[in-house]
């Protein structure tokens, strides 16, 4: 699985003008299921994100995890993270999981993140969404498992 995480002071996702998910201080997690991914990879990614030490401790060093800070996550599915841009000008997405498999792994990932003790809200799988955020730092990290 692949994720782009951003440390945020706030983030929200809207569909048709209605806020369907939001978070205060914590993470915006854009996540993509890739061909060959399975629930074990979703579990591994969730554990990595929950434990990743990218929040500042009292002396200003990035030394705390999302669990340590009690922050929350907004998890948004984004198959475009699978974009292959090596040739031509139009990205290909053939390395993304099928929509049914992607939805299942997205839901499994979100459940695994909650199981790690992280409160999280979500976007709407497959919908056209508008995502807004205030990146904190900025801290943006790409993860592949």
For residue 18, what is the domain's CATH number?
3.50.80.10
The structure tokens listed for 42 are 């979703």
Assign 42 to helix, strand or coil. Answer: helix
Annotation marks residue 80 as catalytic:
yes
Host domain of residue 69: 2-144
Structure tokens at 20: 């369907």
Gap between the terminal Cα atoms of the chain? 5
d(CA 67, CA 117): 7
Residue 144: burial class (beta carbons within 10 Å; 0-12, 13-18, 19+): exposed
Residue among 6, 23, 55, 79 flagged as catalytic: 79
pLDDT, residue 138, reads 96
Selected catalytic residue, list 80, 93, 130, 140: 80
What per-residue confidence (pLDDT) applies to 26? 98
Output the pLDDT for position 12. Answer: 98
Query: What digits encode the pLDDT tens for the residues 2-39?
Result: 999 999 999 999 999 999 999 999 999 999 999 999 99
Q: What is the pLDDT of residues 46-60, one digit of tens each?
A: 999 999 999 999 999
Classify residue 98 by its DSSP letter. Answer: P
Question: Is-catalytic flag, 6?
Answer: no
Q: Is 23 a catalytic residue?
A: no
Q: How high is the pLDDT of residue 110?
A: 98
Domains: count for the chain: 1
Q: Which is catalytic among the residues 78, 110, 116, 122?
A: 78
């Amino acid at each position: 699985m692949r994720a782009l995480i951003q440390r945020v002071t706030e983030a929200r996702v809207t569909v048709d003008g209605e806020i369907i998910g939001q978070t205060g201080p914590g993470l915006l997690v854009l996540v993509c299921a890739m061909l060959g991914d399975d629930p074990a990879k979703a579990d591994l990614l969730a554990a990595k994100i929950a434990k990743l030490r990218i929040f500042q401790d009292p002396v200003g060093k990035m030394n705390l995890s999302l669990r340590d800070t009690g922050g929350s996550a907004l998890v948004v599915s984004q198959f475009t993270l699978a974009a292959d841009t090596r040739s031509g000008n139009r990205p290909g997405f053939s390395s993304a999981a099928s929509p049914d498999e992607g939805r299942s792994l997205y839901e499994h990932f979100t459940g695994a993140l909650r199981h790690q003790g992280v409160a999280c809200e979500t976007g709407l799988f497959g919908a056209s969404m508008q995502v807004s955020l205030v990146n904190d730092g900025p801290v943006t990290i790409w993860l592949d498992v």
